[in-house]
Structures are given as C-alpha cells and as structure tokens.
Amino acid sequence: MKTRVVLLFFVLGLTSRYVSSFKSDELPEDDEEWGFVGRETGSAFGGGRGERVAQGSSSNEGDKRRSGSTTAAPTSPAVDASGDKKIQFDLEHSFGDSEFTPAGGFSARLRASTHGRQTLSKLRLTRNPFSEFQENAFKELVQEDGFYKVRIPANVIDPGKTYVMASIKARCLAAASLKERFDLNLDQGNVIGITYSSGADCTYPRPQVFPSDWTFNSWIVSKSSEQAMRVTPMFEDTPLENLVTGEDGLPTKVVEKNFWQKYWMYIIPFGLILVNAITSIANMPEEPAGGQGAAPAGAVPQRIAGAGGARRR
Amino acid sequence: MAHHRQSLNLQQQQQQLLLLLAFVFVLGFLTSSCHALYEDQVGVWDWHQQYIGRVKHAVFQTQGSGRKRVVVATEQNALASLNLRTGEIYWRHVLGESDPIDVLELASGKYVMTLSGGTNVRAWHLPDGVLIWEAAIPSSKGSNPPRLVALPVDIDYDKINDLLVLSGSVLTALSGQDGTTIWKVDISGKDVDIRDVIVATEELKAYGVGFIGDSGFTVIEIDLQAGTITDRKTAMTSETLSVTELLVSKQFAVALDSKGTHLVTVSINANGLTVLETALSSLSLNAVGLPKLLPTKLDGAISLALGDLTAIVAVDPTSGELRTVETLVGAVAVSDSLSVANSKHSVAIIQLLEGGHSQNTFSLHVHGEDWTEVVQKETVKLPSHRGHVQKVFLNAYLRTDRTHGFRALVVGEDDSLLLLQQGEIVWTREDELASIVDAKSAELPLERDGVSVAEVEHDLAEWLKGHFLKLKATLFLASADEIAAVQESRLNQADKTKLTRDHNGFRKLLLVLTKSGKLLALHTGDGRIVWSLLIPGFRAPHGGPQVCPEKLLLWQVPHQHAEERPEVLVLGKSCSTSDFPAVLSWVDAYKGIELHTMKLSYPVTHAFGLPLTDSSEQRLHLFVDDQAQAHLLPGSEESLDLFLKQKDNAYFYEVDRTKGIIEGYGIKGLVESSRQTSSEGYLFETEKLWSVVFPEETESIATVATRRPDEVVHTQAKVLGNREVLFKYLNKNMIFVATVTPKSVGLLGAASPEDSTVVAYLIDTVTGRILHRVTHPSMQGPVHAVLSENWVVYHYFNLRNHRYEMSVLETYDQSRVGDKGVMQLMLGRHNASAPLSSYSSSNVEVKGQSYFFTYTVKTLTVTTTARGITSKQLLLGTVTDQVLALDKRLLDPRRSATPTPSEREEGILPLTDAIPISPQGYLTNGYQVEGLRGILTIPARLESTCLVFAYGLDLFYTRTAPSRTYDSLTEDFSYALLLMTIVALLIAIAVTYVLAERKELAEKWK
C-alpha cells in the first residue's frame, strides 16, 4: 500500500515539470486577503512607473501537486482563520560589487501548527522597478558578464544580520527577458537557500543581449523538506529458507539443478569411453570380415552422432 | 578401400577430439577461480604493519631471568610491551580516544600500572598484558596532572605492595591486590593546591606538596596506614610564585617566581620548611624570555629551559642552595634519574654535537652521582630523517666485566623509537607511521630498456622449476618441504617488490604524510619504506612556532613525459593559530628530496588542484586565504594564461562549520600588483555569489562529502531491464551535506527522538542550488557519507529503532529522459553527450532508500577503478577496526520487495530490511587495523582491480576486485602445467601420427 502511495507520488511528480514536493506559490484568484496584488501604486522612483507585481504562471500544477503530495500544507479555510500572520521581508539586490539595496518585498502567510512549528505559505513578491541608474548598472553587468545578486534574510520572521544569497549572470536574466525564478528552501521560518535562476537555459558562452522591457516576471517556488521514505520489504513469494547468503554476501535463491547440470562431468567422460569402446569394437570385426558387416554399418551413424553430440557441448 | 580411409579419418578425428577435450579439461582445471581468500594466499598481495605511536612514558623490565622488555605508553593512547632486543611488540593495548595514559609505573616486578585521566587505574600483567584489575576513582576538581605512586610497602597486609593516587585534591590508597580503595582523604584546604605526593617508606608517611595561593608552600603529612592527615606545614614566600610548575623531590621542592627572575626552593625537613630565593643571575643564567621548569625527574637537581639554553641546577637538600652544574645549548634531551646499584643515580644527556647538524650526530653522556663525573660517553649518528632527539629514557645493564653499562631509548623528532647501546642503533621502530595525516599514491618509474623479464626472474630454469613445484603442489604430489618452498616463493615474488611500474599497475608508491612532518614512500608490494624525509621546511627551530603538516597535493604527475619525476606539494599550517602564514614544500616523489620550500605571506584556509595542467604537467592550484582571496600557483606566465582563459568558469566554496554557513565564490580579476610577487602566486579577487545558511537552532553541519576529483565515470546511461535508459545526473560540482540537530551532537541519549533529526542536502556548488533536501526524523549523528558518480550513501543512528541505518540517494537527470531506449542511444539520437551546466535548468529526480545496518562506522569510502566500468564496493571501517566491503547493489534505491523479471535480469536484489554482512566481505581478513582512521583507494591499471590502503595506528594494504578478476588469470594459474600440456599434446599428436602411418602401411600391405 505504501509503495503505491509512493508510486502515485512519483507519477504525479513526473507529469509536472518540477519534481519535488513543494508548496505552491500560486495565488488562488479568489483570495481576497491579498488585496495589494495587482494593484498599481505610485512609485517612489517617479517616472510614472507602476510597482510591478509578480506574475506566477497560471497553471494549476500546484494544485495537482498538492493533492498528490502528502507533505503539502492543507488549505482549508478553517485553518486559515486561526491565527495566521502576514509577514513581509525585503528582497535586496546588488549589481556586481555594489552595495545591497532593496529590490522589492516578499509577503507571506505564516501559519503556526499545533506542534509549535511554523510554515510559510502564499509567498508573493512585489518587485520595485529599476531606476535609470540601476538599468545602466544592469547593462554594464551584461556587458562585462557579471553577476546580479539577490539576498533575503535567513530568518524571515525575525530578520537578523545573516542573509541567504544567490546570484545569476546578468546575461542569463537578460536573455530570458527578465523572467526570474526563486526557489526558496524553507524550514519553518528560516530560509536555508535560494536558487535564483532565469527562465531560460544559460550555458557558457552566453550571448550579450539587453532586455527590451524592464519588467520582471517572477516565479516563486517554495520548497519545504521532504521526509525520507522507507519501504518496508515483505517476503511473500520467496520462503526464507530458500534465501541463502551467497559467497559475496548477497542473498541468493537456491535453484534446484537438473540432472544434466549436476552430473555432466561424469556423463561426458563416460560417454567418451563408451564411444571409444564402441569404435574399437566396431573396428575389430572389420579385419576378419575384410568388408562390410552388419555391425559396422550400424556403428557408423552412431559414431557420428556421438561425436557430434560431444562437439555441440 | 574407401571404407578404410573413412574409418582412419574417423579415428584421427576421434583422436583430435579427445586431445581437444583433454585440453579443455586441463584448462578448466587450471582456471578454477577462487572467490574468497585461502589460507595460503594471506600475505601474497596484502600486508599488515603494527605500530604504537609516539612514546611518552617508558619503563624497563630488565631484572630477573625473564625476557628483557620495555613497557611504553604513547600519545596515541597505546600501551605496549616491546622486546628490548629487537623492538618487536610482545603485547599491545590501544585505549580509547578519551583515555590518555598519564602515568605508567611498574609495581611488584610483574604488574604494569597505568593511570588514565586521573580516574582510571589499571593493573596489567607484565608477561602477557592481561588486565588484572581496573579501579575507577571518582574524578575530583583540579586540572593538575594526576600522580600515581607505587608504594614499596604493603599497607593492607595482603603481601602485595599498594598504590597511592593523587587526583585533583583527593589522595587515594588502592590495594595492589585488586584495586579496592583502602582509604581516601581529601587534602585540600583554603587556597591549598597540592601538586605532588612523595613517600617516606621508613616512617610510613606520605607527604603532599603544593602551593598556598601564589605566595607560599605547604606540605601535608599523611599517615600511610590510617590515611589521616597528621601534620600541615606551611611556609610563605616574599615573591609571588608562578604556579604553573612545581618540581618536587624527596627533600625539596622548586618553583619559579611570577617574574621569572628567581628560583624559589623550599627544603623539607623534620624541623619544618625553609624557603630560599635565588636569583637566576646569581647562577650565571641570563634568561631570554621567561624561563621554564622542565618536568624531568632528577635526583638532587632540577632542569630548566631558558630560551635556547637548557640548564641543570643542583640543589643542596638541607640548605636549599643552588649551583649550576651544566648549561647546554640547542637541542637537548635529558633523561630522568636512574638509580643503579648502591643507590647511585645516573642521568643521560643527549645533545646535538657542535657542527653535527649536517651529520645529525649526537653525544650521549651519562652522568654519575655528582655531576662532574661522566660515567659513559658515546657519539651516535642518527639518520637525518630522524631529526633531533626529543626524549630519552635511560636503562642500566651489567656488562660482561661486571661494570654498569647504559643504554638509552630515544624518541626522534619524527616520532620514531630507537634503542641506542654502545654508540650504535640497536633497533628502530617507525612509529611515525601511526599518525598518518594524509596519503596519496604515485606511480613508479618505467622499467628501463634492456631489462628483460628473464633477468628479473633470475633464470629461466629457476622459473620453470618454480612452476614445476607449483604444478606438483596443485596435483597434490609435492612433499611438505616443497609446499613450504612454493609458499615461500609466492610470498617473496621478486617482481612484487621491484621499483618499477608493472603492467597491471599493482606496484605503486604510497606517499604518506605523518603528524611529525615526515613524508614517507611505502612500496605497495611489501610495505617497506622506499624513502623518508623529515620535511626541512616544516622543522621548528628550537622553541619556535611549530608547523603542522596538513595536506598532500599532487603537484606534478607526468604522463606524457615519462622521464619527468612526479612532485608532491605538502601544505603546512601553524599548529596553534589559524592566521599564521602557511608553509609549502615541494618534494620529489622518486628520490624523497625537498626541491624547494616557501613560507607564504598569507594563511591558507583551503587549497585545491584545478583540472588544468601546464606544458610541464604541473597542476594549477588555488590557495584561498582568510580574506577569501585566491592565489594561483605555479606563478608562471603560462599558468596565468591558462587560468585566465578558464577564469569565468572557476568557482569554489567554503564551509564554515561553526556558523553553519556554506558560501560560494566566483573568481574576479587579477590583482595586477601580484605580478611582481608571482612566486607566491597570482592574486585574484573573488566575489561571493551565494550562501546557504542552516538555521542555528535546528541544524548544525555534521559532514560534507565531495566527489573524488579524479573519479572516472564510464557511462552516463543506465540501461534498465526493460531496455529503457535512465540518465545519471553527473554533476561534478555536487556536494552532499548532512546536518544534525545541535542538541544531539553529543553522546547517544543526549536528545530525545522527537527533537533529533538528520537532514541530508545535495547542493550544487556553482549556483548554490539545493538540488535535494530530505529529513530523517528521529535520527542522530555522527554521519558518515560517501559521494560517487550519481549517488551518495550515508550512515547514521536511528534513535527509534536503536539501530544504525544507511541511506542511499541516487540522482537521475529527467531532462534527458526523452531519449528513451537503447536503440536510440546506440544510433546516436540522444543528447547524452550534451554538456551539463549548473546554469541550465535541471530536472533532477532523486531516488532514496534506507536500510538498517549492524555496525558503527568509523570511515566510509568507495572503490575506484581505472575506467569506472567495474561495479563499486563501499568500504567501511567498522568499529572493530576492520575494513568491510559491501556491494553497492545492496544499497540500490530501486530494490523492491518483488523485483519483476526484467529487474532481476538487471541485477536488482529483492528488498531487505537490513544490509546483510557476509564474513567474506572483510578485506582485512583476520587482521585489525587498530585505530582505523582512513581508507585510501587507488585504481590499478587493470580495470577489475582496486588497491586499498587502510591506515590508523596500524597499516594494512590489499587489493580488491569488486566484480572478480574478470580480466586476468588468477595468481595460481600454472603456466608450467599449460606449457607441459601443450608439449604433451604435441608429442601425442606426433606419436599417433606415426602410429597411424604405420597402421595404414600395414593395412596397405595386407
């Protein structure tokens, strides 16, 4: 039964693009609580740029996964109502060597479970648009094939001085027209690592292209830990007494040998002696008869058969 | 007529057939393969060497008619009895890591008493090393070294002399019979700090001697039979004392004052204590820095070190007056006083001769009762790789002319143990090999032209004779002597120990770096030392900062230029501080000569070889300093050009275990100014690219496993039984990290199963991507792991089931899963050859499974073969100090309870709960590699075979063939028998031909 659950899990995993039991970042369309999503606000940077908001790809993979995965958090509204907390933390970025500056804000829902564990869900990212200066810095990075770095606090509930950091070649981001993807490895309220990747493959050597549109297209995946599974074996069809430890320490099944396998080493020499004897008997009467007798006529095909049999071996 | 011919043809056919069959039989008989080791194969290709480590205590047993022996205790916590004539081990015990031997004494002439950690007293039977009794003394406060005194009297009337143990402030009398406590007394008091205990046998009194605060001495008198304090005497001093060291003798005690300018002597006599302060300057001793009292036990004298100077100062027991008797310069070792007949005392002093530096010549002086007399004077020349003498133990013997002679047991700078007598080295023990830090292998030189095989085998006739004997033994015709001769010749095969490369790649050099800064080359054939070198660049100047060897790097491995010599680079760091500049030393691997040495101006936190070599096949190395800057060596223009081309694709990572952070770095530009100082390496700025932070309160790094940089993977595709293909995810930059709950780091039971977790990570070290993360709840460390190809195996403890467990994770690349089927793979319509980039999106599938395992594991590694075709074995160092080989197939995550026929065909085993252990799986056979710390696997040139070198206190070498030796005939294949069979067949053919001809002729004449 357990095996079947695992299999189901793998099958579902294979159908989706990302094989891992992660909690979806998908924003259900009917979620009222997250009102700021999609809201156009005035920007501190001026220039009439709107604050752009992460657009998750709108597939329902997440829901599917959630149903397949046993580790995904339940999403019943009753739990939602009980003591969930909305938290926010900064995403900071740096262009090559520059200092880290705020690049946007993550918001998430913190859910405390009965065991004192906390889980983060519904991660959303609000990206600040690039300023003129930042655009130029980014272009410079693309030119020199430098790294665009991002970081978030390691402890998002109570941000301290330790940050989890990741980086990407600016060219990779530019080539994917600023389609970015964050994979956050979460453990309760802690971020252990971020994987920051672009939407496209980006192997060396990388082409130098500049983004035409400075809108980030973000995709956030949060991954929580997977528990090790253990398949307990059942010996159904192999009785234990038939499993014998072999020479190399591996259990080997005892297979009953058939008659030929057991005694071939005796049969062959015996057969050879027999053939030899028959031959000499066959040769003997030739001399007095001087011609064909009844016995040699019968012996010839027999000899051939015997020799052939031995050769086949 | 036609019929005649037919029958003749048949006859000939038949004869040929018979011959053919006979040949097949003989061949089958010859090649009967063996799968386990037979008794007579022990020692044919394996060897085992036993060591004890650096000796810190030694006592001699030379009285009586028994065998002369010396009992030693070592820094590696071994207790051993050695044959004084040969240095062989009579018996040996290795105590646990937390069980160092502090005191070693002989009692009653037949017991060896040891005191470990101030709490454990053990009595061992001297002739055979059997533990007679063990007593635990409750540990008491105090960090002073504990003392053990074997009393020369019996205080509990059982006719066996008893013991006194001072541990902290508690003095305990133990019965020599069985270790029971006779009495116990706490001799502490206000500010009282008792350091040593002396015994006055006649009065049946013991005296505890120590400090009061830092300005006085105290002597506490204890009645030996009652165990009660009978008197306390104190004496105050005007100077404040340095309480680090107090030298106590029967009649006086000496300490230094806190400024290091005066020696304070207190005389102990019936009337009380008399304190006398003597300025060092008045003894014509001018201190350079702080003087230090040496813990050498001299009778009526003390020794102290003043910088480069060692002084011996005689003490007048009644007045406490001091007198300098000897000042010695440089490397000096002074033995404890030895009482010889007529209660005379002798002391040995070993000193490097002036101008003896190049020769490593020492003078050994044995001083008599008063220091003016030199009883024995010898000059000894030690091999240069032994370094200076560090310790000397003196022993007396009766010469043939009834005078007293002296021999000295000395410990060399390289930790070896030597016995000196009559100016000669009687024997040497290579005990530096007990503390190997790092080991690597090197190829031997190619065989010179003109050396033919016959010459090597001495003689063709001898060769044939040997094989004939072997043949006789195979056919059970040989006599006992002949069998012994065959065994002898097998064990001492001439070609086994040659110093040239062999066709199968079994003969290699094992380069081992020891803790004492010595590099040795061992021959894999018989384990002998080919050369050894006490690395000059690492030798501490007298009293200077010591350099600890840390890592052995293969600097140059010539492949194309076979005439070039391989070179190794030894990296040394300061033993104490981490910000001390590193030392590099380049050593020729054939000759064992230091080619050059360099003191870097920066400390090295981590060093690694790059997959780039220059035209002379020197490997490029990066040294990362504490500022996370990278230094490129060798500092040549060529290597810089090579590296600059690859700079953009060079990344490294650092693991900070204390903070629980792993950080990844990329290489930025070259610092131009470093071109001028390129001999120290070109300096590159780095930039931090990623970090992984483990939450401090729930996870701490237990282990990090990386792939061997020289690992060869044969194929990326794994063909399944149903002809489908799985693609291994072979990321060279993948590491495995295991974290444990910080609470459960300590001993078992430190944390409950609920809050103890092991988390396993697979991390790409270029991007910092966490490829996989899996938690094992209710598990506890320590975690041992090995990473190879696309899998990782790790070992930990299951708190719920109270058993050890091993888990496996295998990674498969799902992004290549489209190319299914063997046909497509064969026809080339696949993308398996497309390069794998950390920057491309990956789709990694991880399969995992856990199994129970019986044993604790000390170390874990995997076999490697030349081309990676042969299946792998896991090599485990078990808690019993043996090496166990486990087939990797046992740890396959795809094992299922009922494998389908196609899975069976593939070789998948039915799932079991636990990993079975077969007794034949022990590579060490009946041996134990005491104190096993590491296993080195080396691929042989023969694909089927892997060489295994296990080291700890002992060394063990063997070879293993995980899939049997499918590519070579077995060792005992008899070429002579084959040759003789062929000759016999040829003769038989000739004879039968002649016979057939004759018969034909006879037939024709009829």
Phi and psi, residue A8, nearest 5°: -55, -40
Residues B930-941: pLDDT tens digits? 999 999 999 999
Separation in Å, CA of A241 to nearest CA in chain B: 15
Separation in Å, CA of B797 to nearest CA in chain A: 14
| DSSP-assigned beta bridge partners for residue B205 | B200, B223
- Integer Cα distance of A157 and B156 in angstroms: 69
Would you call B412 helix, strand, or coil by DSSP? Answer: strand
* For range B548-566, the mean pLDDT: 84
Residue A10: the pLDDT is 35
Considering only CB atoms, which chain A residues are within 8 Å of B7? 283, 286
pLDDT confidence tier of residue B991, bands split at 50, 70 and 90 = very high
B890 and A CB contact within 8 Å: yes
Name which of A143, A201, A243, A248 to mutate to probe chain B: the one with the most chain B Cβ atoms within 10 A of its Cβ.
A248
Structure tokens at B784: 């041992």
User: Between chains, do B648 and A172 touch, taking CB under 8 Å as contact?
Assistant: no
Most confident range (mean pLDDT) of A52-56, B255-259, B497-501, B862-866 is: B862-866
User: Between chains, do B850 and A155 touch, taking CB under 8 Å as contact?
Assistant: no
User: Between chains, do A149 and B768 touch, taking CB under 8 Å as contact?
Assistant: no
**Higher pLDDT, residue B628 or B356:** B628
Structure tokens at B452: 């033919």
Is A62 in contact with A73 (CB distance < 8 Å)?
Answer: no
**Higher pLDDT, residue B415 or A251:** B415
Return the biggest CA–CA distance within chain A.
Answer: 127
B834 and A CB contact within 8 Å: no
User: Between chains, do A228 and B36 touch, taking CB under 8 Å as contact?
Assistant: no
**Higher pLDDT, residue A207 or B545:** A207
User: Between chains, do A225 and B763 touch, taking CB under 8 Å as contact?
Assistant: no
Measured between its terminal Cα atoms, the distance across chain A in Å is: 49
B537 and A CB contact within 8 Å: no
pLDDT confidence tier of residue B1001, bands split at 50, 70 and 90 = very high
- Integer Cα distance of B215 and B406 in angstroms: 41
Q: What is the enclosing helix (H) or strand (E) of A268?
A: helix A259-283
Cis peptide before B782 (omega within 30 of 0): yes
Most confident range (mean pLDDT) of A38-52, A212-226, B535-549, B986-1000 is: B986-1000
* For range B782-794, the mean pLDDT: 93
Separation in Å, CA of B3 to nearest CA in chain A: 8
Tell me which of A107-116, B448-457, B524-533, B745-754 is least confident: B448-457
pLDDT confidence tier of residue A298, bands split at 50, 70 and 90 = very low
Q: State the sign of the Cα–Cα–Cα–Cα dihedral B833, B836, B842, B847.
A: positive
User: Between chains, do B840 and A201 touch, taking CB under 8 Å as contact?
Assistant: yes
Closest to B897 (Cα-Cα) out of A145, A293, A231, A37: A231
Q: Which of residues 904-943 of B touch A (CB under 8 A)?
A: 909-913, 916-918, 920-921
B35 and A CB contact within 8 Å: yes
pLDDT confidence tier of residue A11, bands split at 50, 70 and 90 = very low
pLDDT at A107 over 80: yes
Measured between its terminal Cα atoms, the distance across chain B in Å is: 12
Tell me which of A252-256, B508-512, B813-817, B952-956 is least confident: A252-256
Which residue in B693, B777, B912 is closest to A192 by CB distance?
Answer: B693
Separation in Å, CA of B162 to nearest CA in chain A: 53
- Please give the sequence-ordered ranges of beta strands (E in DSSP) within B557-681, or none if there are none: 567-574, 583-588, 594-599, 604-613, 619-625, 630-633, 651-656, 661-670
- Integer Cα distance of B506 and B526 in angstroms: 11
pLDDT confidence tier of residue B834, bands split at 50, 70 and 90 = low
Separation in Å, CA of B339 to nearest CA in chain A: 60
pLDDT at A77 over 80: no
* For range B184-201, the mean pLDDT: 83
- Interface pTM, i.e. ipTM: 0.74
pLDDT confidence tier of residue B122, bands split at 50, 70 and 90 = very high
Which residue in B688, B770, B807 is closest to A185 by CB distance?
Answer: B770
Considering only CB atoms, which chain A residues are within 8 Å of B1002? none
Angstrom CA distances, B732 to B140, B244, B343, B391, B762, stand at: 53, 53, 71, 48, 12
pLDDT confidence tier of residue B448, bands split at 50, 70 and 90 = low
- Integer Cα distance of A267 and A270 in angstroms: 5
Which residue in A19, A154, A247 is closest to B693 by CB distance?
Answer: A154
Q: State the sign of the Cα–Cα–Cα–Cα dihedral B588, B592, B593, B596.
A: positive
Residue B290: the pLDDT is 78
Structure tokens at A299: 């012996």
Residues A111-120: pLDDT tens digits? 877 666 777 8
User: Between chains, do A307 and B13 touch, taking CB under 8 Å as contact?
Assistant: yes
Neighbouring C-beta atoms of residue B117, cutoff 10 Å: 15
B24 and A CB contact within 8 Å: no
Tell me which of B200-209, B451-460, B736-745 is least confident: B451-460
Structure tokens at B515: 């803790």
Residues B847-897: pLDDT tens digits? 999 999 988 899 999 999 999 889 999 999 998 999 999 999 889 888 888
Considering only CB atoms, which chain B residues are within 8 Å of A201? 837, 839-841
Q: Which of residues 687-716 of B touch A (CB under 8 A)?
A: 687-695, 698-699
Q: Looking at this protein, which amino acid is placed at residue B555?
A: W
Neighbouring C-beta atoms of residue B179, cutoff 10 Å: 19
Alpha carbon B652 to its chain's center? 29
Structure tokens at A155: 């402890």
Residue B720: the pLDDT is 82
Which percentage of chain B shows pLDDT scores above 70? 89
B577 and A CB contact within 8 Å: no
Across chain A, what does the average pLDDT equal? 65
Structure tokens at B213: 């605060």
- Integer Cα distance of B807 and B758 in angstroms: 11
Considering only CB atoms, which chain B residues are within 8 Å of A230? 849-850
Separation in Å, CA of A51 to nearest CA in chain B: 27
Separation in Å, CA of B910 to nearest CA in chain A: 8
User: Between chains, do A162 and B661 touch, taking CB under 8 Å as contact?
Assistant: yes
Most confident range (mean pLDDT) of A239-243, B70-74, B315-319 is: B70-74
Radius of gyration of chain B (CA): 35
* For range B30-59, the mean pLDDT: 75
Neighbouring C-beta atoms of residue B206, cutoff 10 Å: 25
Alpha carbon B408 to its chain's center? 27
Separation in Å, CA of A31 to nearest CA in chain B: 30
Residues B164-182: pLDDT tens digits? 888 888 888 998 888 889 9
- Integer Cα distance of B395 and B806 in angstroms: 53
pLDDT confidence tier of residue B435, bands split at 50, 70 and 90 = very high
**List of residues 6+ apart from A224 with CB closer than 8 A:** A21, A22, A23, A71, A119, A185, A186, A187
Residue B937: the pLDDT is 95
**HSE-up of residue B315 (Cα within 13 Å, Cβ side):** 30
**Higher pLDDT, residue B697 or A288:** B697
pLDDT at B406 over 50: yes
- Integer Cα distance of B247 and B265 in angstroms: 10
B46 and A CB contact within 8 Å: no
User: Between chains, do B911 and A233 touch, taking CB under 8 Å as contact?
Assistant: yes
Residues B364-398: pLDDT tens digits? 888 887 777 788 888 888 888 888 888 899 888 88
User: Between chains, do B897 and A249 touch, taking CB under 8 Å as contact?
Assistant: no
Across chain B, what does the average pLDDT equal? 84
How many beta-carbon pairs below 8 A join chains A and B? 190
Structure tokens at B682: 């070109």
pLDDT at B17 over 60: no
Query: Residue A280: left (phi > 0), alpha (psi -120 to 50), or beta?
Result: alpha
Q: State the sign of the Cα–Cα–Cα–Cα dihedral B92, B93, B99, B103.
A: negative
Most confident range (mean pLDDT) of A72-86, B246-260, B272-286, B965-979 is: B246-260
Considering only CB atoms, which chain A residues are within 8 Å of B803? none
Residue holding tokens 């350099």?
B547
pLDDT at B18 over 80: no
Alpha carbon A268 to its chain's center? 56
* For range B407-422, the mean pLDDT: 91
**Higher pLDDT, residue B62 or B710:** B710
Would you call B267 helix, strand, or coil by DSSP? Answer: strand
